Amino acid sequence: MLDLKLIRTQPELIRDAVRKRGMELDLDRILELDEQHRNGLYQMEQRRATLNATSKEISELKKAGQEAQDKVEAMRALREEIRELEETIRRAWAELEALLLEVPNIPRPDVPLGALDEGNVVVRKGPEPQKAGFKVLPHWEIGAKLGILNFESAVRIAGERFVSNMGAGAALERALINFMLDLHTQEHGYLEVSPPYLARAQALVGTANLPKFEDVLFKTTTGHYLIPTAEVPLTNLHMGEILEADELPKHYTAYTACFRHEQVGAGQEARGLIRQYQFHKVELMKFTTPETADEELEALVRDAEDIVRRLGLPYRVSMLCTGDITFASCKTYDIEVYFPGMDRWLEVSSCSMYDTFQARRCNTRYRPAPKAKPEFVHTMNGSGLATGRTLASILENFQQADGTITVPEIIRPYMRGMSVIGV
């Protein structure tokens, strides 16, 4: 959420940000409601002052034994006006508050202009893709042939867009999870968290998943939502708290299942592990001060990048353009891995900075100095990594001509020394 004062005093800044994103926003209605709300509060203050003064006058008249009926009638009329104003103020604020949740974050000045992914800029590259010398099968085909990805059983259990990892397939994903968590906690300095997989609506409002993206969330009969990412519980760890400056930055990591009811048309993304209703991910999350936010984002990207580098995957890092960053993000980097079986670059990590956008929604603040007025923290997060997509990229990039998969050396200790996945 943006500061209402900023919207009020710099509306053209907001219009420009919305235009750069290729979005639409009824900013005039927001400004109109803000004026109604503030004017209503002013009128309320004036009438209450008059009411108090009239009440004192009545008291003085009664003490003097004088008639005060006209003053009593005036008080009744004032009370009715105040009740009407209270309702007008309430309605204006309710609509204004709802519209404020629809205002996107302001992209940072260095975010490239562009529409969708066409304007994204590659900022650095890892190892280049290597030609295999044979036809590389997409991961869903080689996984089925090896018996390590079972889509048919998952369909019988839960329907489309689910998978059952079997044998070495299950072991491989577990190995990736443990490798990622160990690296992030033992070398990158993150504190591991095992958070709830269910969240209340307010927690999803805090991360800006609600109300904008309710159509992709799974909701339970109790009113809870299945988390679409560990970003939700991690960002809300300090909801409503005031942290001290010497506590920041805070670095958290968590492995969770994630649940999203994303709609995908026909094509490669509708197959395999790329767009599933349930997937698994190791998340990275930071709470920082504004002074350290830029540096901390670059470090977070490097921490996620370290995973693909150590696995030996061909990758690149892109800065997303204004038309491709998410609603809540002010700056985003994507780490993409090349999938030779699909002949595509696909994201395995998206690392975003939000400035105070989420912190305002979660009311997470810090005190810059002892006894200083609290200010909102800055938040950022990223996948470190999405384990299903990382597994899929291994099945394609480490595929051999004989139909086996070479296990990346870095995770063999997590698979009891297994070096090859074969039939």
21 classed as catalytic: no
Q: Are 154 and 170 in contact (CB under 8 A)?
A: no
Catalytic-labelled residue, pool 21, 161, 275, 360: 275
The b-or-e profile of 147-159 (16+ CB within 10 A means b, else e) is ebbbbeebeeeee
310 classed as catalytic: no
Catalytic-labelled residue, pool 349, 350, 383, 393: 350
Rounded (to 5) percent helix, strand, coil in the chain? 45, 20, 35
Catalytic-labelled residue, pool 161, 316, 365, 389: 389
Distance between CA 56 and CA 77 in Å, rounded?
Answer: 16
389 classed as catalytic: yes
CA-wise closest residue to 267 among 342, 206, 209: 342
350 classed as catalytic: yes
Alpha-carbon distances of 411 from 71, 168, 176, 407, rounded to whole Å: 84, 13, 7, 7
Q: Which two tokens stand for residue 283?
A: 């998340």
Catalytic-labelled residue, pool 21, 161, 231, 260: 260
Distance between CA 149 and CA 152 in Å, rounded?
Answer: 9
Catalytic-labelled residue, pool 48, 347, 367, 375: 347
Please return the burial class of 88, using the count of CB atoms within 10 Å of its CB with bins 0-12, 13-18 and 19+. middle
Q: Are 286 and 249 in contact (CB under 8 A)?
A: yes
Active site residues: 260, 275, 347, 350, 389
